[in-house]
Chain A
Amino acid sequence: MCEPKTCMAFATHLALGTISPDDCPPLLEAGFEKNLERIRELVAPLQSAAETGVKLDESKCTGCGNCVVVCPVDVALEPGTGIGKAAKSDATVFRVENGISKIINLEKCRRFPPDRMNCRVCEQYCCTDAIEIW
């Protein structure tokens, strides 16, 4: 019996860093060595990450606030942003100042320890490609 029960749930835990590829019993079976090795390579950066790279190119930013509203940390810290309102406090990861989004608390990003999550929603929903994650 696998734990977590589904492959998708296992993958989610892998991304969260709460589980390792070696915790998957079928992957340890004979014939899956290449797959196991490949998955180990894929998650290795997450396991060793001590910090993240999030770059915001202000020349491309339109201040649309997509990053503010879609960032789970911002929504948790200033719930109004979840329903589309502008971030006003200084607690959030992103805040639009003078028409441009600014990263004001990068250390709160879920890509940082202890979470080390492979979260890229801000990059995904930035229409102007102003946000780049590496």
Chain B
Amino acid sequence: MLLVKDFVCNGCSLLCNDVSATIEKNEVSSLGVCKLGHAHLTSAASEAETGIVRRNGEEKRIPIEDAIKETARVLSEGENILVYGWTTASNESIKHGQLLAEELNAHFNTLASLSAYQSMSHELHSMTLAIDLDYIRNNGEFIIYWGCNPAESLHRHPSRFAVLPIGDKLPEGVESRTIGVVDVRETETMKMANHRFKIPIGQDVDLLKALASELKGTSSITEPLFGIPAVEILGLVRAFKKSDCTVIFYGSGLVNSGNAEENLSALLNLIEVLKNDGKEAYALPMFPESNIMGALQETKKQDSQQSILTKIANGEFDTALIVGDDVFSEIPGRAAKALRKSKIVYIGRSGGLTDSIADISIHTTDPIISGASTMIRIDLKKYELVTWNAEVLTIDKVLGKIHELVKK
């Protein structure tokens, strides 16, 4: 059967909805989808739904229904269960996961606690965003990417929203905007920038404070900062002063460099200095996981990064149900080693470290194929995914079956 559709791509957190594809016998032809999205759709279209159990280093493929029964048994026998992952699962699956966690008296948390929760719970955002990406396309005059690199992780961010497109107040597109990039290394995103700053790891707060002081007029930059000539930093300051609408996109470079709280507070201060000068200024987080914002918004209670990692590292959980995410690739080594001692069940797409070491793996098809579910874009806008094939095995269906068995 030939299927041609406009669809929503969940290859990353931009949830591109201006794209289309044809799927014929698992062969995918797409239009407008980036390399990441096309690879995501292609692999999802030919996902093999299987169940795997691993015992004593031996791997055995079993029918899905048997894997579900085995999972229900393991979860029922668990004493301290962690239900974890979720940043690429749909909102509906996340809700279902919480119901299952309640049934099991398990601890529910998401990988969003590692970065997005730190950002969004900070006073900088207070769990909401003042503007969305469409507003930025129409108004964002000075765009800064700070500790994030969309050219390598959110490919279409610059072309769809922030750098190149024409906007209501930016009729010349990129010619009307100024672009800055701050990072600890040379990045591909820097190629588009008018202002490029390579700073040492952990020095973000110093640059943020220096910029705010210069803008307030409480100090004057006359000497190089981290080897960057004063004249270049003053050029950045002039760009701030010239812009009526500044948007700073920041990513894991700012949040995961060890000084998250201090960095975010310094960023907030810089935004407030600009606003006090009568300018529009905003900061927006940039994280690539497709539904990281859904994992935040749909979760009733989220542990902080420190809290959940400490619990994991202390070996508090004897069983872990990991859904959608490759948790073992994301969490720090000490926590990963401790979690490895638990009984691990993985539900999600095949591939990744977590899938390869889980005691039970249940491979499902991604919601990009099943549709009938929602995700939340990085700017908190909700999108409904399009259905290509409603018959495939989804995380939601698997959770439903496990839930029924656990109840019994």
Contact = CB atoms under 8 A, between A and B. Distances in A.
A63 B164 CA distance: 15
Nearest to B171: A82
A99 B159 contact: no
A80 B165 CA distance: 10
B164 A87 contact: no
A86 interface: yes
Interface in B10-45: 16, 18-20, 28-39
B159 A98 contact: no
A97 interface: yes
A84 B31 contact: no
A83 B34 contact: no
A125 B16 CA distance: 20
Contacts of B331: none
B37 to A, nearest CB: 7
Contacts of A117: none
A66 B34 contact: no
Contacts, number: 109
B20 A96 contact: no
A99 B166 contact: no
B165 A63 contact: no
A64 B156 contact: yes
Interface in B147-196: 151-152, 155-156, 158-161, 163-167, 173-174, 188-189, 191-192
Given A70-B174, A97-B30, A99-B37, A84 B20 contact: no
Contact of B20 (A69, A88, A99): A88
A97 B137 CA distance: 24
Contacts of A95: 31
Contacts of A63: 33-38, 155
Interface residues of B, number: 36
A128 interface: yes
Given A98-B29, A127-B189, A66 B159 contact: yes
A100 interface: yes
A65 to B, nearest CB: 4
Given A68-B159, A98-B30, A86 B18 contact: yes
A86 B32 contact: yes
Contacts of B167: 83
Nearest to A89: B31
A96 B36 contact: no
B34 A99 contact: yes
A85 interface: yes
Given A69-B164, A88-B20, A128-B188, A82 B34 contact: no
A61 interface: yes
A86 B31 contact: yes
Given A64-B156, A64-B158, A127 B192 contact: yes
B165 A82 contact: yes
A70 B174 CA distance: 8
B67 to A, nearest CB: 32
Contact of A84 (B37, B151, B160): B160
A20 interface: no
B159 A65 contact: yes
A84 B32 contact: no
B137 A84 contact: yes
Contacts of B191: 125-127, 129
B161 A97 contact: no
Given A66-B159, A70-B164, A82-B173, A125 B192 contact: yes
A131 B18 CA distance: 24
Contacts of A129: 191
A88 B160 contact: no
B137 A96 contact: no
A2 B372 CA distance: 66
A57 to B, nearest CB: 13
A128 B39 contact: no
26 contacts: A62-B35, A63-B36, A63-B155, A64-B34, A64-B155, A64-B158, A65-B32, A66-B164, A66-B192, A75-B166, A80-B18, A82-B165, A83-B167, A84-B160, A84-B164, A86-B33, A88-B31, A99-B30, A99-B34, A99-B38, A100-B35, A125-B164, A125-B174, A127-B188, A127-B191, A128-B151
Given A65-B155, A129-B191, 8 more contacts: A63-B36, A85-B160, A86-B33, A87-B31, A88-B20, A97-B30, A125-B192, A127-B188
Closest 7 CB pairs of A and B: A86-B32, A99-B38, A84-B165, A99-B35, A127-B151, A63-B34, A84-B160
Interface of B: 16, 18-20, 28-39, 137, 151-152, 155-156, 158-161, 163-167, 173-174, 188-189, 191-192
